[in-house]
Structure 1
C-alpha cells in the first residue's frame, strides 16, 4: 500500500484522475482500482469521511487530502491465460484461419488492466494452433470486437494468412455486418451516418462525435420496428472504437441496454439487457490463400434473442 497527498496541480479533480496522476497509470485503470475498493481515505476527516473509508471515483479531492492506494500485483500484459471460454464456438476453420462466435464479456486478447477471458486463450485451450505473428499478446489477431459486443471474429493460423488479412482489414475490404436494437425509430429508415469520432474530452472510456475526430461512416437499414425500439442492419465502412454505439447515440437512438451512451435503464431492465444490444452477425472476407469468398455468420446469443422474444410477445 502507498499513501499519497493530493498535489496542487490535481486539486479539485475527480478521484480517478488524481489516482492516475499520482500513481502513473491510466485513468481507466485507476477507475477500476477505485471500483475494486483499493483507494481509501488515509487521514482526511471532513464531510463525514473517516480514515479507511473507500473513495468514490466521482469525488473531487482537495489539495492536501491523503489517500491510501492498495496497488494490485502487476500483470504482464503479454501473458496469455490459457483457459476454455464458455459459449465460444468455432464457426469455421481451415489450415489458415479460424472464425469464432465471440461471447459477450470476452476480450480479443490480453491487455493492461484486463484479467478476464480472451479469444486467444480460449483458442489455445481448445488446441487450435495460431500464428505467432504480431505482438506476443495479440498474435493472430487481425481485427477485434469490443468486450461488450458478441459475434463473428476471425484469427489467423499462419504467418501468410496473418499478413494478408491484416492488410485486408487495413484497406477495409472485409464486409462487416452488425445487427443492433436501437431506441426509437431512426428517420430516415435507411441511410449513412458520416460523422467524425474522437475520445470524449470528459471520459477516458467513452467516445463522441466531435470536430477533429477520425472519419467514421456507418450505413444502416431498418429490419423491423417494434415501437419503442428498432432492429437495424448495419454495415461499417470504417471501424472506429464504439463506432455504432457513438453514431446512434448521437442521433438520439442509443443501442438498447447501452447505459454508457445514454440508453434508458428502465427499458434495458424490461428487456433483460445487461449490455448493449449489438451483435456482429456476419463477416465476408476473401480467403487469404485461395481467394474464395467466405461469408461467416453468427446467430444471436441467448440474451439478445430473448429480448426480441419479449418484444414479439
Structure 2
C-alpha cells in the first residue's frame, strides 16, 4: 500500500475532496478515489471524510492507495480483429459466438481472455472479471466494441454512453416486412418476471430508445439499421419483438427454426465516440460477417 500526503492550497478552497484528489494526481480517477473514501483510505487532518467533504486551505490530506488487485483471469492468445489501438482505447470486432467477459462457469475463451494476452494495460474499474470492458454485446451478436486501457479513458467512455453521445449502429435481419422507412421505439425494458433469463418491455423498466431505418425488404424479412440511444440488455432484440418484427434466428425472442442461422442475425457495424484524451470524434465501420452476408444473399436470390 502506497501512502500519499498533501497540504491543500488556497486555489482549491471548497473543492470536493474527490475532485481535489483527481486534480492533484492525474492518474487517479474519480471512481477510484470515491471507492478509497468508502474504504476509509482517505483522511483529512487524520479524520475519515465523505466524498462530498469540501477541502480548506492548510487541510492535510492523506491517501493510502491499495495494491492493484491481481487478475485471476487467464490470458489466452487469440487472433483478435483489432480496428484501432493507442495508449487509451482499443476498438475490436468481436466474432459471433464469442462471450465478451468471463463469468462463473465460463472462464475461458472470452474476448477479455484474448485482450489480456494482447495487452496488459486494461482499466480496472469493472473489476477482475471485466477489465477494460465499457459496454457489451451479446454472445451471438458480432461487431465493434470499445475497450478502455486505463481508468481515465474508462470514465470518459462511460460518461459518453450516459450522455448518449456514442454512435452505435447495428444491422439486423427481422421477421416480417416493415412498411414504413423509419421508426423510433421508446419503451422501457426490464427483467421478465415470468422468465428471469429474459428481458421484456415493462412499465417499471428502465428508459430505452431504439431508432431504426429500413435498408432492404424481402418477401418475409426486412433488413434494418438500428441506432441505439440507450444501451439496455438485449435492447434491439426486445424492442423489435415488441413492435412485431423479432430478429431472425433469435433463439430467445424470435420464432423457432424459421431460418438456417445459429443465433440472432445482428451485427454492431458502426461505432463512434470522442477520443478520451484528444476529444476528437473517431468512427469505425466493420462489414457484415461472412455468414450474415451469405444469409442475405440467399434471401436476395429467393426474392
TM-score, length basis structure 1: 0.70
Maintained 8 Å contact 1:81/1:117: no
CA distance in 2, matches of 1:253, 1:163: 35
Q: Which residue does the alignment assign to 1:194?
A: 186
Offset of residue 203 of structure 1: 1.2
Q: Deviations over 1:63-89 (max 9, x none)?
A: xxxxxxxxxxxxxxx732321345x30
Maintained 8 Å contact 1:185/1:225: yes
CA distance in 2, matches of 1:188, 1:145: 27
Q: Do structure 1's residue 218 and structure 2's residue 210 form an aligned pair?
A: yes
Q: Do structure 1's residue 83 and structure 2's residue 71 form an aligned pair?
A: no
Q: 2:169 aligns with which of 173, 177, 186?
A: 177
Q: Do structure 1's residue 140 and structure 2's residue 128 form an aligned pair?
A: no
Q: Which residue does the alignment assign to 1:278?
A: 266
The structure whose residues are more often strand, as a share, is 2
Q: Secondary structure at the match of 2:122?
A: coil
Offset of residue 170 of structure 1: 2.3
Q: Deviations over 1:24-52 (max 9, x none)?
A: xxxxxxxxxxxxxxxxxxxxxxxxxxxxx
TM-score, length basis structure 2: 0.72
Q: Deviations over 1:238-289 (max 9, x none)?
A: 1110010011111221100012112341x312xxx01000010001100010
Q: Do structure 1's residue 254 and structure 2's residue 246 form an aligned pair?
A: yes
Q: Which residue does the alignment assign to 1:120?
A: 112
Q: Do structure 1's residue 241 and structure 2's residue 229 form an aligned pair?
A: no
Q: Which residue does the alignment assign to 1:106?
A: 98
Q: Do structure 1's residue 204 and structure 2's residue 196 form an aligned pair?
A: yes
CA distance in 2, matches of 1:79, 1:296: 32
Offset of residue 148 of structure 1: 1.7
Q: Secondary structure at the match of 1:112?
A: coil
Maintained 8 Å contact 1:89/1:100: yes
Maintained 8 Å contact 2:271/2:283: yes
Maintained 8 Å contact 2:73/2:107: no
Q: Which residue does the alignment assign to 1:12?
A: none
What is the RMSD of the two structures over their aligned residues, measured on CA atoms?
A: 1.7
Q: Which residue does the alignment assign to 1:295?
A: 283
Q: 1:225 to 1:264 in 2, by over 3 A?
A: farther
CA distance in 2, matches of 1:102, 1:226: 28
CA distance in 2, matches of 1:172, 1:216: 11
Q: Deviations over 1:176-201 (max 9, x none)?
A: 10110001112433110111111111
Number of equivalent positions: 231
Structure 1 unaligned runs (5+)?
Answer: 1-77
Q: Secondary structure at the match of 2:272?
A: strand
Equivalent residues in 2 for 1:53-92, closer than 5 Å: 79-85=72-78, 88-92=80-84
Q: 1:256 to 1:95 in 2, by over 3 A?
A: same
Q: Secondary structure at the match of 1:268?
A: coil
Q: 1:248 to 1:116 in 2, by over 3 A?
A: farther
CA distance in 2, matches of 1:225, 1:187: 9
CA distance in 2, matches of 1:133, 1:184: 42
- Rg larger in structure: 2
CA distance in 2, matches of 1:278, 1:227: 19
Q: 1:128 to 1:228 in 2, by over 3 A?
A: farther
